[in-house]
Amino acid sequence: MLTLSSLAPAELARRLAHGGIMLQTGAYTTHLESSVPSVAHGLGLLYGSYPLHGADAFADFHLQVVRPAALRRWMRPQVLLMYNGESLFKPLPLAQAFPMFEWGLNWCVSSRVHDCLIIHAAVLERNGRALILPAPPGSGKSTLCAALAHRGWRLLSDELAMIQLADRRLQPLPRPISLKNASIPLMQTYLAPQHPVFSPSVADTVKGTVAHLQAPAGSVARAAETAAPGWIVFPRYQAGAATTLTALPKAGTVLRMAENAFNYSLLAERGFEAMADVVGASHCYNFEYSQLDEAVELFARLAEQP
């Protein structure tokens, strides 16, 4: 199958600007159009191993990243994200065009896909079982996810745990890992021996400074392989904290998972049943850490347990 890396940078930019591309991420295909150079650069840098489909393929989502036609195009230039030809989001500075695409694609999946219960969580797999890491911003979730994804775990998603209603398995959606602020130089140093690929850092976003880390090619290649639930772990980074894993009761875990869900209320009884089944099939923990090496070692031991 044709992948994005088969297009030279100039050809990718041309196609994006004139008709768009059909980019597959996990189970979903996005028709994306943009003439903004940073969008083409970000895609070429981070999405080289992702499949491309022909112009006549079905697209689940239609996105455009465009510059407004008003005077602001030249004075403090901005960028808009269009969904199905409509602008649903406020404009952002032009420098934030590529992060806006990433955030917009997350929005498409979390607000439009309803054959899965969707939780705001990172998900990784090892030995056939999924590790679900639900957590609010600032908890160290993405930092931990990035470390594990490069230390023996398969990345399913950095942002969205997708629980299939049909069978309760975790559906992969491997895409670049979003890192923020101090986590960016930390992971650039931590992963340096593996020569990771990062997007350029973008400052002054609503999330602070952001950069995206390329998903491991092996995870992208296995995007059709679902995983059974294995663990639900609520991580929390705390400077100087000891590495501590504490068991949680199932009932409290269901409530905390629901707090992190996007479509739990919409799915109603089906959502509750899916949540209860996944929690029931998982070992549930709180996890506090400050040292990544200790965290990686602990999760490796966890993965070897029956």
pLDDT tens-digit map of 240-262: 999 999 999 999 999 999 999 99
pLDDT at position 70 is 65
Listed range (13-17, 74-78, 152-156, 229-233) with the worst mean pLDDT? 74-78
Is residue 69 predicted with pLDDT exceeding 90?
no
Is residue 139 predicted with pLDDT exceeding 90?
no
CA-closest candidate to residue 207, choices 81, 98, 99, 93 = 99
CB-based contact 100:79 (threshold 8 Å): yes
pLDDT at position 73 is 58
- Judged by DSSP in three states, 260 sits in coil
Interval 105-127 mean pLDDT: 97
pLDDT at position 1 is 80
Question: b/e per residue, 189-204, with b = 16+ CB within 10 A?
Answer: ebbeeeebebbeebee
pLDDT at position 72 is 57
What does the block give as tokens for 89?
């989001």
Containing 163, the helix (H) or strand (E) segment is: strand 160-164
pLDDT band at 93 (very low <50, low <70, confident <90, very high): very high
Is residue 74 predicted with pLDDT exceeding 90?
no
The dihedral region occupied by 74, where left means phi > 0, alpha psi between -120 and 50, and beta the remainder, is alpha
Interval 71-85 mean pLDDT: 81
d(CA 298, CA 293): 9
Interval 119-140 mean pLDDT: 93
The values of phi and psi at residue 74, to 5°, are: -110, -30
